[in-house]
Every structure is written in C-alpha cells, then in structure tokens.
Amino acid sequence: MTSFKAVTRWMSIGATGLMMAGAVQAGNHDHGHPDIVDTAVAAGEFETLVAAVEAAGLVDTLKGEGPFTVFAPTDEAFAALPEGTLEELLLPENQETLQAILTYHVVAGKVMAEDAMGLESAETVQGQEITITTMDGSVMINEANVIQADIEASNGVIHVIDAVLLPE
C-alpha cells in the first residue's frame, strides 16, 4: 500500500498554493453539497472556526476547487484554548500565525475516515505532519478526537474534532 505521505506529497500545494488556489473559484463543484465553508456555517457548531477563517483571509481558498480534508474544531474546542488566546489570534497583526494554525487543520485531497484509519500521519497544507492514531474504531488527530467524520462538501470533506490543533 502506498503511504499517505507519498500520495499527499504530490497532491500538497503548500500554504501559498492553497491561498493562490482560492483566487480561482471552482466551477465544477458537486452541486449536491455546499462547499466546505458553507457546510461549516450551516452546521452551526463552527461559528468560531468560520470567524477565524474569515479573519485569516482563507474563505475564498476554502470555497476553492480543492479537494480539501478539513479537521474542524468545534466552538467548544476553541473555547477550551487558554483565555485570551483566540482574541489574540484574531487581531490583524497575527493573521499569518492564524493562517498557519488553520492550514495545519487542512490536508490536500479528500481523505474519508475509512482511508484515514489506515494511516499513521498526513502532511498538512501548512507543511507539518499530523499524527493519526486509530484504536477500537476511534480516530485521533494528534491529541484531538474525531467526534464526527465524513461530512461531505462539494470540494472535500470535514471531520469534526474536539480540540484545536497547534503546529510546533
């Protein structure tokens, strides 16, 4: 079996490429599903994530063609960050740091839960790897639990996690 790292290496477009890809709106989305951003907005449990994506200037990117796999922290996950952390990250002068954190939650390509369960790691669009651990049918991304998987969007898939992933 080809390693996910090898597969994603040729699919990965890097943070700069991801941002540039957002400049081109996709014309061939799956019209049966909204895109990743609209799916997150409609879910109602990602208000903080959506606000962070907007503050980071990544809305158009995540509405782009993709496909993307997004590990989406819930509002409760953001609330669990140390007091003041989120407010600090949302300041305009911290946009690059916020972009790095958010792109650390994104893997190039569409990785469904069944495929992720066979992997040990994946390279994020931010450039660092996340660790994938599977035990008794549960999946963890670094220290975060996947609490809902395979929410399909026209340009990828969302997996809901219970913690914010922070790059090193």
Number of domains in the chain: 1
CA 108 vs. chain centroid, Å, equals 9
Q: Is the pLDDT of residue 102 over 90?
A: yes
Pairwise CA distance, residues 159 & 143, whole Å: 14
In a domain, 79, yes or no: yes
In a domain, 52, yes or no: yes
In a domain, 168, yes or no: no
In a domain, 130, yes or no: yes
Pairwise CA distance, residues 29 & 63, whole Å: 10
pLDDT-based confidence at 5, cuts 50/70/90? very low
> What Cα–Cα distance (Å) separates residue 93 from each residue in 14, 103, 127?
22, 17, 22
**121: domain range?**
4-161
Query: Rounded to 5 degrees, what are φ and ψ at 132?
Result: -115, 120
* pTM (global) more than 0.75: yes
CATH number of the domain where residue 26 is located: 2.30.180.10
Pairwise CA distance, residues 55 & 58, whole Å: 8
In a domain, 125, yes or no: yes
In a domain, 12, yes or no: yes
In a domain, 48, yes or no: yes
- CB-based contact 115:75 (threshold 8 Å): no
In a domain, 167, yes or no: no
Pairwise CA distance, residues 53 & 51, whole Å: 5
Q: Which tens digits make up the pLDDT trace of 74-95? A: 999 999 999 999 999 999 999 9
